[in-house]
């Protein structure tokens, strides 16, 4: 089996590649083309790191090998950058996705195309619990770009150019390393920073509902998206990944339980209206019955998410992507 991962040097891309390299009972892995602006940090003879921008058609042609079986398309301009730099977001999240799909269309057989979408495709007046049938009304350029790309994945699949699945990821926390350009960056920051002895700010009200999943569960779910039978999707190529509905208050209570009162005391709440205008339009809870039926997993509780991060920091201290 030959796999292409775009965004391979990123947080989820590098985790996904580590998971793909782990021994499994599934089809034997021959190689992974790891495409990103920078070199994939994983050193393994099966990982073929190719650097360049997916906004370049030549680079797209250079990463889509004729015998690729599965494409994980994770490269993206994240929400903060897409809002600040409209043209960059459109080029990376829409134009490059279309070009990548086009390159897949030219292959002899349609590869599985796993696209990392986001719950940011939803917005506007939403029910308390969002079902699969709620209309997409994104309130950000990032959400709009992901929604456009989802429709492309769906139509390229209907035409059998690819066998696609658009995975609407919850906010993935806790992300190691430094704050990033995602508007949801604080969700990790309010746990990661205080545990490292650094003060942190929560820019949304403490009772804001957030839809969150751990990196381990999201990685497992992306792998599942690559192997499930897409006939089970019944033509609906987008799936809302399971998550947990948590508030910053609940996350901070977990921080206090697991990291101590001194860590909790390092976080203060300072609402940022600009950020709230986007983040507070994201849905806080989903009906996950379809995703569960399809075999996707969810985290047990907020403590397990915080504990996963603390355990990884102990085993890989200072690692930015793992
Ligand atoms: N992490 C989350 O909370 C979350 C939530 C919802 C959706 N997603 C989606 O999951 C995917 C992975 O997210 P992540 O958290 O790993 O982000 P990340 O920023 O860590 O990784 C994205 C990678 O894409 C690469 N990239 C950006 N522009 C590129 C270009 N022009 N050419 C080649 N590579 C380029 C970056 O260099 C980076 O390594 C993204 O599509 C993101 O939108 C993530």
pLDDT value for 319: 61
What pLDDT score was predicted for residue 25?
60
pLDDT in tens, 182-202: 889 999 999 999 999 999 999
Question: Which residue ranges have their beta carbon within 6 Å of ligand 1?
Answer: 7, 9-13, 36-37, 53-55, 74-78, 92, 116, 118, 169, 171-172, 180, 184
* Ligand 1 closest atom vs CA 38: 37
* pLDDT tens profile 43-78: 999 999 999 999 999 999 999 999 999 999 999 999
How many angstroms is it from 262 CA to the middle of ligand 1? 33
Taking CA atoms, 70 is separated from 13, 23, 25, 29, in Å, by 14, 17, 17, 11
Q: With contact defined as beta carbons under 8 Å apart, do 107 and 209 qualify? A: no
Give, to the nearest 10 degrees, the angle between helix 141-158 and helix 96-105. Answer: 10
pTM over 0.85: yes
| Percent residues over pLDDT 90 in the chain | 89
Calculate mean pLDDT across residues 129-139.
92
CATH number of 2-169+213-240, picked from 3.40.30.10, 3.40.50.300, 3.40.50.720, 3.20.20.70: 3.40.50.720
- Structural domain boundaries in the chain: 2-169+213-240
Lowest mean pLDDT segment, chosen from 121-125, 247-251, 264-268 = 121-125
pLDDT (0 to 100) of residue 282 = 85
Just list the catalytic residues: 142
Average pLDDT, the chain: 95
pLDDT tens track for 230-239: 999 999 999 9
> Strands, DSSP E only, in the chain?
2-6, 31-36, 47-51, 70-73, 112-118, 163-169, 171-172, 200-202, 210-213, 238-240, 244-246, 267-269
Pairwise CA distance, residues 308 & 104, whole Å:
36
């Amino acid at each position: 089996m030959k796999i292409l991962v775009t965004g391979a040097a990123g947080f989820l891309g590098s985790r996904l590649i580590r998971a793909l390299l782990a021994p499994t009972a599934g089809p034997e892995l021959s190689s992974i083309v790891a495409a990103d602006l920078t070199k994939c940090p994983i050193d393994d003879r099966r990982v073929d790191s190719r650097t360049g921008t997916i906004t370049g058609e030549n680079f797209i042609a250079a990463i889509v090998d004729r015998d690729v079986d599965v494409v994980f398309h994770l490269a993206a301009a994240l929400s903060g950058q897409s809002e600040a730099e409209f043209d960059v977001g459109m080029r990376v999240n829409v134009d490059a996705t279309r070009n990548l799909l086009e390159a897949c269309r030219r292959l002899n057989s349609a590869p599985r195309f796993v696209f990392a979408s986001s719950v940011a495709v939803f917005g506007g007046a939403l029910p308390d619990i969002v079902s699969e049938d709620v209309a997409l009304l994104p309130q950000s350029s990032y959400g709009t770009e992901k929604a456009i790309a989802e429709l492309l994945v769906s139509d390229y699949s209907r035409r059998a150019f690819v066998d696609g699945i658009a995975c609407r990821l919850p906010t993935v926390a806790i992300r190691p390393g430094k704050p990033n350009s995602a508007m949801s960056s604080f969700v990790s920051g309010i746990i990661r920073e205080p545990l490292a002895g650094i003060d942190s700010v929560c820019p949304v009200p403490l009772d804001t509902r957030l839809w969150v999943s751990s990196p381990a569960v999201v990685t497992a779910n992306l792998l599942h998206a690559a192997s499930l039978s897409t006939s089970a999707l019944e033509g609906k190529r987008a799936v809302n990944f399971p998550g947990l509905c948590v508030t910053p208050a609940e996350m901070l209570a977990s921080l206090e339980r697991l990291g101590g009162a001194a860590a909790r005391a390092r976080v203060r709440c300072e609402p940022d209206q600009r950020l709230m205008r986007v983040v507070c339009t994201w849905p806080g809870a989903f009906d996950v019955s379809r995703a569960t039926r399809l075999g996707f997993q969810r985290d047990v509780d907020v403590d397990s998410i915080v504990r996963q991060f603390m355990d990884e920091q102990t085993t890989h201290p200072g690692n930015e992507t793992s």
